[in-house]
Chain A
Amino acid sequence: MVWSRMKDISDKSHIRSRWCITLRITPLLKPSSEPHDRGNMAFTFAAFCYMLALLLTAALIFFAIWHIIAFDELKTDYKNPIDQCNTLNPLVLPEYLIHFFFCVMFFCAAEWLTLCLNLPLFAYHVWRYMSRPVMSSPGLYDPTTIMNADILAYCQKEGWCKLAFYLLSFFYYLYGMIYVLVSS
């Protein structure tokens, strides 16, 4: 009796563990499930986008922190503006490209809401880069003007705003990812 009972339980646990495994795997490998009406590919792709965006946003958060620290150093005289610009400028385009990249991903994944949330920032990036000072190398920051109090304050503010935005979007992507997974 007891034995059979035990077996019962173990059976059940077995089932549960199996279920667990399936849950883990589904998003990536198991397109099937209920919502057959949506394209299977798109649905998994969206989740994939969210995951990717999650990782990349983490990277962007580091960029933003780096940016803030750099300007703080400038403001407190720790660094020479030429050096500082030389370290900051190479990071500008990668940041913009990363952001552009997952905007495109979201577009492909037809995640319109997420895309809309990101478009303003994307537009800002485009505008920002278009209006950069005359420079022969990529980048935004010109050592001769960067010490101007207005520009310095603007850049700092920009850094904080971006940090906030990336942090929020990080959690949003996390939510979005889970949501997509769950709703699938």
Chain B
Amino acid sequence: MTRLKWPGPSQNLQQLPALSYGMAPHQNYSPLQAKAPLGPGLYPQNSPYHPPSSLPHTPPLSASPVPQMPSAQSTPPPVAGGGYYNSPLQTPAMGPAWHYNTSAPVTPPHAHAATNHMAPPRSMAPSTSSPAPGPGLPPSSAHGYSQTGVAPHTYHQPVRPPYGAPPSAAAASGPRPAMGPPPPIGQPPPMGQPPPMGQPPPMGQPPPMGQPPPMGQPPPMGQPPPMGQPPPMGQPPPMGQPPPMGQPPPMRHPPPMVHPPPTGHSPSGAPPPMRPTPPPSGPPMGNATPPTPKADGIMSGNGPQAPNSYNHVESQPGAPPPPGPPGRHLGHYPSLPPGYQSSPSGHTTQPYPLKQQPYQQPGPAQLSPSLAALSLQSGTPEALRVVNLLQERNLLPAGPITPPTPCLPQDLQRVNCNPEVFRATLTSIPQNQSLLNKAKLPLGLLLHPFKDLSQLPVVTSSTIVRCRSCRTYINPFVSFLDQRRWKCNLCYRVNEVPEEFMYNPVSRAYGEPHKRPEVQNATIEFIAPSEYMLRPPQPAVYLFVLDVSHNALETGYLHVFCQSLLDNLSSLPGDSRTKVGFITFDSTIHFYNLQEGLSQPQMLIVSDIEDIFLPTPDSLLVNLSESKELVQDLLKSLPTMFEKSMETQSALGSALQAAFKLLSPTGGRMSVFQTQLPNLGAGALQSREDPNQRAAAKDVQHLSPATDFYKKLALDCSGQQVAVDLFLLSAQYCDLASLGCISRYSAGSVYYYPSYHQQHSPAQVERFQKDLKRYLTRKIGFEAVMRIRCTKGLSIHTFHGNFFVRSTDLLSLPNVNPDAGFAVQMSIDENLDDLQVVSFQAALLYTSSKGERRIRVHTLCLPVVNSLADIFAGADVQAITGLLACMAVDRSVTASLSDARDALTNAAVDSLSCYRQSVLTIQQPGLLSPCCLRLFPLYVLALHKQKAFRVGTSTRLDDRVFAMCQLKYQPLVYAMLMIHPALYRLDDLTDQGALNVNDRTIPQPPVLQLSVEKFSRDGAFLMDAGTVMYLWIGRNCSPAFLSQVLGVTSYAAVPENMYLLPEPETVRSNAARPLRREPDEDSLSAEHDRGQDRLRPLPLSLKLRPLLSVKLRPFPLSLKPRPLLSVKLRPLFLSVKLRPLFLSVKLRPLFLSMKLRPLLLSMKLRPLFLSMKLRPSCF
């Protein structure tokens, strides 16, 4: 090891602990493992990361030296034991190192560390860095890389729970290891959060043991349990029974001892189907498995098998395959089934038990056919379990909906990319395009590449190992042919392993390239050397372009803006080079000279808006640290400066041109605040909206831009690495469709506050404040590009999001921020017959606000399948919905809104009918759907009612366009909340299944179906719609709740304008308060994601209606809970008029009633899906 030079260590001390990767092994451990308090929430559901954590817990781990051990367990241990780890000494150290989360390993590593420290001077550096960095770093890196920085030291065991694995789970994990061998065990970890509920534990033990028996009796399993259970669960009387529903969660808990039978069988019930699966699924994988060298290679990359090949190579060069066979096969085959089962098991554990009971209800008569089908199709995995949508009333799982786990061999799945970062609509890739077409499901990826991560390995190295032909970064899914060569998993070229890569900085061992961090993590960040720079990394440059016309001052946004910026001036991400500048405009453009040395800011007015020029080009953008006082002066005086302005015109276009000129030498971020339609100079727009047409059922016009001025400007900006973020605060029509282009093609973001007014819409003001704070302090990457590579045979069809597509697989992102999501449609160009897995790699190259060039690489690996059933089994309904929404937005702009709506409907109809015709062997009446797609019709219906696509209700054009932007731009988690909000009942919160975060208990109420039947007058309900939260209070709501949470004595006393919850110090309100922010695990993570301060749910004015039902008027509530009940609304809610509505058929269709049924079943409609026009494939 000494002969290798590791550049990083000492230099990087300053950096985040994570950086230490390159430096010292032992040190790294702690940093890596370290979890910030934030951590837990951030990466809650990581399957990739999670596993390690669970592993460490397992006692065996300590015994098993290598981190990979988990796989070893599932796969034949002997193999692993074999040649792999020759030096036990190293292994222990390494093992822990990689388990970021591992708590258990921590101790051993430390011990090791101690010894290790001795060794090289290097160690010193890391050691010092680890302790020091923690405290020191966080502050410094607060915005920039808080995640990494924080993560390191804070790591404590206690913290873990938040991760999603409740203590019980952790405990459970213990036993699991013992269980070890059974595949199911291994899986839970990858699954990540779903089971966290605590199920695993109970499940964990009995199931492994219990499974075999269930296996034997698949049919009985299915039926009897239901029989037994129906009584308790059976009374779904919707309204009354919420509690029973709620109970399921408790059931899952350890206490469930009482329930062993139900739990036991429910899980077992699931497994039976699973069992059979392996065979069906097995074939695809299995076929290839036998001798294919590729397969072996791939597997060997990570797993225990790798050692085999190594040894072989060394001992008998050139004969890797022969010796390995037995061992390898073992590894292979067993691992397969588990992988497969994993997904189902994950599913089953949670939702299913619940599901089934209601399902039973319909009655024996109806049951029998479906049961028969079930038993006959026992071969199908849980994801394919047939659900009759017409009979099952409660489709939603109580907890968050977890993405399916790709059925990969465990060792691959364990290192696979976190689904929150990188997710595919089909976790099993069809072999060819025709198969994909047959399935009628869209194939695509959803990315959240710059997500704030709690732990991110960072590698500093002078050479970044990449494939020489396709430039893929080395990743966990490559295969090492021998110690010196690796085979690219995207293009299959064989590459040399560079000398430096032979040294493993973590174990400080030489000759183990497969244990390097790059090969152990699907998400990793490199500090790029100078070859990755076209020019010196740009400084952080922020330019604010403010509308100061009369209209703008009326809204009063300037006060809020200036105050927020003043508050956050010091926390703007950046370093000593950070620059800021200001431009204001009305009918003229005003520049501000803030050059250091001036006694006060100088305003320079340019009134020649036709031919804009910069009055003093070099003093308008100033170094923030040098001119801080001037900037502060300016911000203090700005709001009052224009108070008397009567100028009503707005020359936005010219202001943008000026700003572009100002920024073009450096690049940077331009934040534009606009309050009205630009009506002067270049880029002037006319109002295109006819208010009378807002509710028109016929097609909505003007969804596309009226002029290409903004688009062209955006492209220019993009070329100069300038991103434009648009804040639109306007009461009237602003033509967001045209204005939005400026952000869309420059990779900016759009914020829209309809009817913003300082006095009249306090909710909007608060939301604006919160957004601004988050906006100003969040992490940012400059001059970024993102390239998405995929295995040969696949190609990228379309991108969705905000960016400029520079070539077929390259996105130009002048700025990238952690709240940006992307979607990619894929197509299959060639047959993938001979492949077992395909990989996708997204590499984001950016300049950090500290002036470092960094590359963040995410790699996702998915299996290839050849049957429709497997494709359906791997369908990720949320991802599909997200992608469909993006496609529908495109469609409504290029074709028409009604076309898009039809296409959405047809997407659901087609896929379900395909399932029925091609996958179901037994035809039965009803609307049948595979379990994994059971929410698909619901989501599609929800999309139809989404502001972006709804018709027939008055929707302002800007609102609609904004919703469309959001659907394309938001990461999936948020987009899903927009599409299908989560509803919780608040007045009967219990601690069951609660999460503990930072010593606070956050209850996890079950998510309720968005149906009136779930409402009751004596409850209080919270609906989380992403950017808005509504609190709905029933008239008979318990006074205790009212007084303790809302601080009022009676229902009548609930104030009309209540945007925040008061904060009386009562137990109850404390219970509810965290909930407001983190209604469930999912949003909890979201919360952390976006930073502590940004409350995701934002106050919205009353005008905003809830998404799904027009008639329900929930009350808007701002984040900080202030629910408000307006007097006006109250009567509405209570009046007789409304009641019938609630019960009327209108609402029901959501849940599959009349409206949908005919669609799916009637002959009439069938021809529809045969016609070209409507095929989803036309999208």
* Chain A interface residues toward B at CB < 8 A: 74-75, 77, 80-82, 133-136, 142-144, 147-150, 152
Instruction: Name the one of A82, A147, A149 contacting B715, with C-beta atoms under 8 angstroms.
Output: A82
Q: How far is the CB of B1099 from chain A (nearest CB, A)?
A: 35
* CA of A144 to CA of B825, assembled, Å: 16
**Set of chain B residues within 8 Å of A74, measured between Cβ atoms:** 807
Chain B, interface size category, equals 20 to 34
User: CB of B493 within 8 A of chain A?
Assistant: no
Q: How far is the CB of A134 from chain B (nearest CB, A)?
A: 5
Q: Are B810 and A77 in contact (CB under 8 A)?
A: yes
* CA of A134 to CA of B719, assembled, Å: 21
Q: Are A81 and B805 in contact (CB under 8 A)?
A: yes
**Set of chain A residues within 8 Å of B14, measured between Cβ atoms:** none
Q: Are B711 and A82 in contact (CB under 8 A)?
A: no
Instruction: State which residues 662-721 of B face A: CB under 8 Å.
Output: 704-709, 711-712, 715, 719
**Set of chain B residues within 8 Å of A152, measured between Cβ atoms:** 808
Q: How far is the CB of B805 from chain A (nearest CB, A)?
A: 4
Considering only CB atoms, which chain A residue lies closest to B796 in the complex? A149
Instruction: State which residues 774-814 of B face A: CB under 8 Å.
Output: 795-799, 804-808, 810
The 6 closest A-B pairs by CB, nearest first: A147-B805, A77-B807, A149-B797, A134-B708, A148-B798, A135-B708
Q: Are B715 and A134 in contact (CB under 8 A)?
A: no
Considering only CB atoms, which chain B residue lies closest to A77 in the complex? B807
Considering only CB atoms, which chain A residue lies closest to B798 in the complex? A148
Q: How far is the CB of B857 from chain A (nearest CB, A)?
A: 20
Considering only CB atoms, which chain A residue lies closest to B797 in the complex? A149
Q: Are B807 and A144 in contact (CB under 8 A)?
A: no
* CA of A82 to CA of B806, assembled, Å: 8
**Set of chain A residues within 8 Å of B805, measured between Cβ atoms:** 81, 144, 147-148
Q: Are A134 and B797 in contact (CB under 8 A)?
A: no
Considering only CB atoms, which chain A residue lies closest to B827 in the complex? A149
Q: Are A134 and B704 in contact (CB under 8 A)?
A: yes
* CA of A144 to CA of B394, assembled, Å: 44
**Set of chain B residues within 8 Å of A77, measured between Cβ atoms:** 807-808, 810
Q: How far is the CB of B1135 from chain A (nearest CB, A)?
A: 48
Considering only CB atoms, which chain B residue lies closest to A82 in the complex? B715
* CA of A143 to CA of B803, assembled, Å: 12
**Set of chain A residues within 8 Å of B706, measured between Cβ atoms:** 134
Considering only CB atoms, which chain A residue lies closest to B811 in the complex? A147
* CA of A142 to CA of B708, assembled, Å: 10
**Set of chain B residues within 8 Å of A82, measured between Cβ atoms:** 715, 719
**Set of chain B residues within 8 Å of A147, measured between Cβ atoms:** 799, 805-808
**Set of chain B residues within 8 Å of A75, measured between Cβ atoms:** 808
Instruction: Name the one of A136, A144, A148, A150 contacting B745, with C-beta atoms under 8 angstroms.
Output: A144
Considering only CB atoms, which chain B residue lies closest to A146 in the complex? B805
Instruction: Name the one of B709, B795, B806 contacting A136, with C-beta atoms under 8 angstroms.
Output: B709
* CA of A82 to CA of B809, assembled, Å: 15
* CA of A81 to CA of B719, assembled, Å: 12
Q: How far is the CB of A52 from chain B (nearest CB, A)?
A: 36
Q: Are A144 and B715 in contact (CB under 8 A)?
A: yes
| Given A136-B708, A144-B804: 4 more A-B contacts, CB < 8 Å | A81-B807, A136-B712, A147-B805, A149-B798
Considering only CB atoms, which chain B residue lies closest to A147 in the complex? B805
Instruction: State which residues 806-846 of B face A: CB under 8 Å.
Output: 806-808, 810, 825, 827
Q: How far is the CB of B75 from chain A (nearest CB, A)?
A: 40
Q: How far is the CB of A177 from chain B (nearest CB, A)?
A: 42
Q: Are A134 and B705 in contact (CB under 8 A)?
A: yes
Q: How far is the CB of B502 from chain A (nearest CB, A)?
A: 33
**Set of chain B residues within 8 Å of A149, measured between Cβ atoms:** 795-798, 808, 825, 827
Q: Are A144 and B806 in contact (CB under 8 A)?
A: no
6 pairs, CB–CB < 8 Å, chain A vs chain B: A77-B807, A136-B707, A136-B712, A144-B805, A147-B808, A148-B805
* CA of A80 to CA of B827, assembled, Å: 23
* CA of A107 to CA of B852, assembled, Å: 66
Instruction: State which residues 864-914 of B face A: CB under 8 Å.
Output: none
Instruction: Name the one of B707, B796, B806 contacting A80, with C-beta atoms under 8 angstroms.
Output: B806
* CA of A136 to CA of B709, assembled, Å: 8
* CA of A14 to CA of B796, assembled, Å: 71
Considering only CB atoms, which chain A residue lies closest to B716 in the complex? A82
* CA of A75 to CA of B719, assembled, Å: 20
Instruction: State which residues 399-454 of B face A: CB under 8 Å.
Output: none
Q: How far is the CB of B965 from chain A (nearest CB, A)?
A: 15
Given A82-B719, A149-B827, A144:B711 Cβ within 8 A: yes
Given A77-B807, A77-B808, A136-B709, A143:B715 Cβ within 8 A: yes
Q: How far is the CB of A67 from chain B (nearest CB, A)?
A: 18
Q: How far is the CB of A74 from chain B (nearest CB, A)?
A: 8
* CA of A82 to CA of B798, assembled, Å: 17
- Most central of B706, B707, B715, B825 by chain A CB within 10 Å: B715
**Set of chain B residues within 8 Å of A136, measured between Cβ atoms:** 707-709, 712
**Set of chain B residues within 8 Å of A148, measured between Cβ atoms:** 797-798, 805
Considering only CB atoms, which chain B residue lies closest to A152 in the complex? B808
Q: How far is the CB of B610 from chain A (nearest CB, A)?
A: 16
Q: How far is the CB of B618 from chain A (nearest CB, A)?
A: 28
**Set of chain B residues within 8 Å of A133, measured between Cβ atoms:** 704, 708
**Set of chain A residues within 8 Å of B804, measured between Cβ atoms:** 143-144
Q: How far is the CB of A78 from chain B (nearest CB, A)?
A: 9
Considering only CB atoms, which chain A residue lies closest to B795 in the complex? A149
Considering only CB atoms, which chain A residue lies closest to B714 in the complex? A144
Considering only CB atoms, which chain A residue lies closest to B745 in the complex? A144
* CA of A81 to CA of B718, assembled, Å: 13
* CA of A82 to CA of B827, assembled, Å: 25
Per-residue 0/1 for B1038-1069: is the Cβ within 8 Å of any A Cβ (1 yes, 0 no)?
00000000000000000000000000000000
**Set of chain B residues within 8 Å of A81, measured between Cβ atoms:** 805-807
Instruction: State which residues 451-468 of B face A: CB under 8 Å.
Output: none
* CA of A77 to CA of B719, assembled, Å: 16
* CA of A148 to CA of B712, assembled, Å: 18
Q: How far is the CB of B342 from chain A (nearest CB, A)?
A: 33
Q: Are B707 and A134 in contact (CB under 8 A)?
A: yes
* CA of A144 to CA of B716, assembled, Å: 12
* CA of A37 to CA of B796, assembled, Å: 64
Considering only CB atoms, which chain A residue lies closest to B890 in the complex? A148
Q: Are B708 and A150 in contact (CB under 8 A)?
A: no
* CA of A148 to CA of B807, assembled, Å: 10
* CA of A142 to CA of B805, assembled, Å: 12
Q: Are B719 and A150 in contact (CB under 8 A)?
A: no
Considering only CB atoms, which chain A residue lies closest to B706 in the complex? A134
* CA of A12 to CA of B1103, assembled, Å: 102
- Most central of A77, A81, A149 by chain B CB within 10 Å: A149
Considering only CB atoms, which chain B residue lies closest to A144 in the complex? B745
Q: How far is the CB of B757 from chain A (nearest CB, A)?
A: 32
**Set of chain A residues within 8 Å of B807, measured between Cβ atoms:** 74, 77, 80-81, 147
Per-residue 0/1 for B706-738: is the Cβ within 8 Å of any A Cβ (1 yes, 0 no)?
111101100100010000000000000000000
Q: Are B806 and A150 in contact (CB under 8 A)?
A: no
Given A77-B808, A81-B807, A150:B798 Cβ within 8 A: yes
Per-residue 0/1 for B510-532: is the Cβ within 8 Å of any A Cβ (1 yes, 0 no)?
00000000000000000000000
Q: How far is the CB of A79 from chain B (nearest CB, A)?
A: 8
**Set of chain A residues within 8 Å of B810, measured between Cβ atoms:** 77
Q: How far is the CB of A133 from chain B (nearest CB, A)?
A: 8
Considering only CB atoms, which chain A residue lies closest to B805 in the complex? A147
